A and B are shown apart, each in its own frame.
Chain A
Amino acid sequence: MALPSDRSICPLRREEYILSPHFVSYSAFWVFALRRFATGRAKDSLLVSELSSRCPPPSLTVADSAAMEPAARVVTVESINPKVLQCEYAVRGEIVIHAQILYCNIGNPQSLGQHPITFFREVLALCDHPSLLDKTGIHALFSADAIARAQQILDVIPGKATGAYSHSQGIKGLRDAIAAGISYRDGFPANPDDIFLTDGASPAVHMMMQLLIRSEKDGILCPIPQYPLYSASIALHGGSLVPYYLDESTGWGLEIAELKKQLDVARSKGVTVRALVVINPGNPTGQVLAEENQKQIVDFCKNEGLVLLADEVYQENIYVDDKKFNSFKKIARSMGYGDEDLPLVSFQSVSKGYYGECGKRGGYMEVTGFSAEVREQIYKLASVNLCSNISGQILASLVMNPPKIGDESYESFNVEKQGILSSLARRAKALQDAFNSLEGVTCNKTEGAMYLFPRLHLPNKAIQAAKAVNAAPDAFYARRLLDATGIVVVPGSGFGQAS
């Protein structure tokens, strides 16, 4: 019986998939991450010997066994979609697998003791089990306005059936509420038909990448450092990440000159740049863009023919008084740009803010400036998955329409909300100061989001020691930190950084 021929075990080592041009700066980290990513079971080293020892089962004929060559199995790492291999997501990568301790690697507030907003949970519980609404004694356990809101929500759900697939863009009545919330926030109208409710903001990002990326010649401009969903999604969809560097020395500022420079470099390499990703407030950097900066970005996209992908999931996490959140839609409209002038996709989520409902997978994208034909395609993509989870949809409508002054729950709601936000602001300042007081560490001010991204000025010896074990220097440091203190962080190379 023949051993598996060489065709069945791909001759390329995994590193060769990874060291493609757009990963050049981070190659050390990726190689390191990949080698260590696998868990201890290492069955592949046995693959050859298992196959060579296979013998034909007695129940089959000689003809059958001749036909049954021990060809390599289909789903081996050598024979799966190479784009899957290229995709990396450091937030839950190598460091995380080995750690069991203090998870500071991910924006997951409720896993670290943050409480959910009571009003939201009351409404969700009532929507999950609407028969509660018919019971006497309900008023002892639920606030009157939560009951009223639940009833209002159930009234816009056909048949009050929260277990039914909804419209593929999400329940119409909830989209109406979200559009109203957006209008209230921005002072410019929003159309419920522009809204696509998704299982968290991430699937919406994937959908746009799917739509925009035709081949590796299609590039997406992404901030460096960036939240690695973008690099992962671009890799998964076979496109090219075109980096633009935020300036650490100016509080992670976004310079238009830098955008233009990177755009031109990409184009000179034959890359068709399709979109610009802006994360505002930034992740991992936390900076909140100034209005003037946002206007420049809008003009840049308009002039260069780029889709603006505005990741605004941290819109309610701002910790400084001198900055405020302005949605890109608001900025564009205030500049006089109408719907047809600028293709713009805004992403929002229930996972962040003061609500921190990560596990619910609620979010949406608001899609403006596209033709009807394109919107049909977006709808079609959404319809293949039928719809996003209803509970998440309800939560998105609550987040965009929280209790207002005068509502019964407003006071207690506001206490909870302000408590969480002021605590986050205090912790941001405390950690920032603490990092800045450490030897060899500097840290920019965290204006928003949920992260600190301190800079490690690593001594040469440390860098050498890291190289000696084939580790990226920051991953080496993070690993030592973990081993010594149990604190889990994500090495900066996972987000990208200047070399």
Chain B
Amino acid sequence: MSPKPLDYESLNENVKKVAYAVRGELYLRASELQKEGKKIIFTNVGNPHALGQKPLTFPRQVVALCQAPFLLDDPNVGLLFPADVIARAKHYLSLTSGGLGAYSDSRGLPGIRKEIAEFIERRDGYPSDPELIYLTDGASKGVMQILNTIIRNEKDGILVPVPQYPLYSAAISLYGGSLVPYYLDEEANWGLDINHTRQSVAEARLKGITVRAMVIINPGNPTGQCLSEANLREVLKFCYQENLVLLADEVYQQNIYQDERPFISARKILADIGLPISKEVQLVSFHTVSKGYWGECGQRGGYFEMTNLPAKSVDEIYKVASVSLSPNVPGQIFLGLMVNPPKPGDISYLKFVAESKAILESLRKRAHIMTDGFNSCRNVVCNFTEGAMYSFPQIRLPPKAIETAQRAGKAPDVFYCLKLLEATGISTVPGSGFGQKEGVFHLRTTILPSEEDMPSIMSSFKKFNDEFMEQYEDYRGYSRM
């Protein structure tokens, strides 16, 4: 009997190769335990609203009005919505071609792309072309589209930082390419050493791989480090020398928790470097409404901006975008609002600023609380979360723990994280999901649990960890667990 098309054996192998730990084994186990009634603290994904962060008021008001434009005709609308919200809703509706329910241009509404271009110009000091900005249902779709355009076969390699956000490894598997890792330096605060990168490229080439692109995640995920200007310059020059397209994942650009290295976009540095590099290096930059202080993950709003791509390539990318018809229109409006928030003098300005500041200040505090909390634990070392939304402590597992894990058929960090989950309900993602140096283990948690919950979460973690370490460091006992 011949295998059926959708029998497991006859599935596309590339699909089977895909791994995405963020919603993998630990998450699935956590969901099971939750169904059984255990209280779970989900820190596996950067999902702020799921952990109590409230949406910003202004954008929600605007989009609600755009959803129900008949409200605008009602004389009572001013009682429920401030005037600037009403004006902004009318503005965005006027940019659509039939309201929220009509497909927009496949690249996104021209008016919103223009607002984004203006934002980029204000941010970087260099003009940006709205025609080269494409909106997508979340930044992930944009990343996948670009990687699919670049990867022709398994000989095409993509340089990816290790540790990395596993969207990259998943997409590379799915499209049948090769992941070429470059290791970030944990001892140097997860710094990017261009020599390591150069070495990775050389090794890949020896294996017959054509390295085509370099991914940087700035601020980093899961590592949080913010690249310095010097670093960015090195990276861009490196891409020029090695003929790589730079994919700059900048979705955490609003999440910066130290003042020494503010966010600088790859595009700005590229322009700063000047000719000829500034006109030669191909660059695609990604941003989203899911992170920052907005945290509007559920809206699926994102964009990518292309720099120095030839017109014909842009056309091909447009063509593929058109097959999905258009990104969701409410998500596009969120993007417009994000790049064009209320200004001083607007009715909603003060409230907007207060809400935003509160979120950012709280995130900064929590970044410290978590880092310090982890560093107070036995055999745990944690770099400071300079940016993004995660903490990525190194767990120095004793040999006995590693052996026990291996006997149980689990990667050591998976073993640790499962035990942590069962003991405390804290659902993390094992470091192996992001990649790490051989024999070095981590876990990723978000810094998103509320400030009130943080102390109890950290003490719960410390209790579990210190007991775990005691158990596996002394050579007497069997596992009680």
Chain A residues within CB distance 8 Å of chain B: 37-39, 41-44, 47, 50, 54-55, 57, 60, 64, 67-68, 71-77, 79-82, 84-85, 87-89, 91-93, 106, 108-113, 116, 118, 121-122, 124-126, 128-129, 131-132, 135, 137-138, 140-141, 158-159, 161-166, 168, 199-200, 202-203, 210-214, 229, 232-233, 236, 274-275, 305-307, 343, 351, 356-361, 369-371, 373-374, 377, 380-381, 383-392
A75 and B245 form a contact (CB under 8 A) = yes
A359 and B96 form a contact (CB under 8 A) = yes
Q: How far is the CA of A214 from the CA of B7 in the complex (A)?
A: 13
- With A47-B310, A71-B243 as known contacts, state yes or no: A229 contacts B103, CB within 8 Å: no
17 further contact pairs, Cβ within 8 A, besides A84-B317, A141-B76: A38-B312, A57-B274, A74-B243, A110-B101, A112-B98, A116-B100, A121-B68, A128-B63, A162-B49, A162-B55, A165-B45, A168-B23, A200-B324, A210-B14, A210-B174, A305-B5, A307-B6
Q: Interface digits, B131-161 against A, CB 8 Å rule (1 contact, 0 not)?
A: 0000001101100100011111000000000
A359 contacts which chain B residues (CB < 8 A)? 96, 98-104, 326, 328-330
A81 and B308 form a contact (CB under 8 A) = no
Chain B residues within CB distance 8 Å of chain A: 2, 4-8, 10-16, 18-20, 22-24, 45, 47-50, 52, 55, 57, 60-61, 63-65, 67-71, 74, 76-77, 79-80, 96-104, 106, 137-138, 140-141, 144, 148-152, 167, 170-171, 174-175, 212-213, 237, 240-241, 243-245, 274-277, 279-280, 282, 290, 295-300, 308-313, 315-317, 319-320, 322-331
Q: How far is the CA of A91 from the CA of B322 in the complex (A)?
A: 8
Choose one: B48, B103, B237, B309; the contact of A111 (CB below 8 Å). B103
Closest B residue to A388 using CB positions: B300
- With A38-B312, A92-B106 as known contacts, state yes or no: A202 contacts B298, CB within 8 Å: no
**Minimum C-beta distance from A163 to chain B (A):** 4
B7 contacts which chain A residues (CB < 8 A)? 371, 374
A54 contacts which chain B residues (CB < 8 A)? 276, 280
B6 and A39 form a contact (CB under 8 A) = no
A307 contacts which chain B residues (CB < 8 A)? 4-6
Choose one: B50, B77, B103; the contact of A158 (CB below 8 Å). B50
A73 and B308 form a contact (CB under 8 A) = yes
Q: How far is the CA of A393 from the CA of B71 in the complex (A)?
A: 23
A80 and B57 form a contact (CB under 8 A) = no
**Minimum C-beta distance from A298 to chain B (A):** 15
Give the one of A88, A165, A305, A374 with max B CB within 10 A: A165
Q: How far is the CA of A214 from the CA of B326 in the complex (A)?
A: 27
A128 and B70 form a contact (CB under 8 A) = no
A122 contacts which chain B residues (CB < 8 A)? 68
A229 contacts which chain B residues (CB < 8 A)? 323
**Minimum C-beta distance from A35 to chain B (A):** 12
B18 and A384 form a contact (CB under 8 A) = yes
- 17 A-B pairs within 8 Å (CB atoms) are namely A41-B311, A55-B276, A57-B277, A81-B152, A91-B325, A109-B101, A128-B64, A131-B60, A161-B50, A164-B48, A165-B290, A232-B323, A343-B6, A381-B174, A385-B141, A387-B300, A389-B328
A50 contacts which chain B residues (CB < 8 A)? 279
B312 and A163 form a contact (CB under 8 A) = no
Choose one: A73, A75, A141, A386; the contact of B280 (CB below 8 Å). A73
- With A73-B308, A384-B140 as known contacts, state yes or no: A236 contacts B320, CB within 8 Å: yes
A373 contacts which chain B residues (CB < 8 A)? 8
- With A73-B243, A359-B99, A360-B328 as known contacts, state yes or no: A128 contacts B60, CB within 8 Å: yes
B47 and A164 form a contact (CB under 8 A) = yes
Q: How far is the CA of A4 from the CA of B1 in the complex (A)?
A: 54
B45 and A80 form a contact (CB under 8 A) = no
Give the one of B6, B150, B151, B323 with max A CB within 10 A: B6
B150 contacts which chain A residues (CB < 8 A)? 74-75, 80-81
Choose one: B23, B55, B70; the contact of A163 (CB below 8 Å). B55
- With A77-B312, A112-B98, A371-B8 as known contacts, state yes or no: A358 contacts B171, CB within 8 Å: no
Q: How far is the CA of A129 from the CA of B56 in the complex (A)?
A: 10
Q: How far is the CA of A168 from the CA of B20 in the complex (A)?
A: 12
B311 and A38 form a contact (CB under 8 A) = yes
Closest B residue to A358 using CB positions: B103
Choose one: A57, A77, A85, A361; the contact of B275 (CB below 8 Å). A57
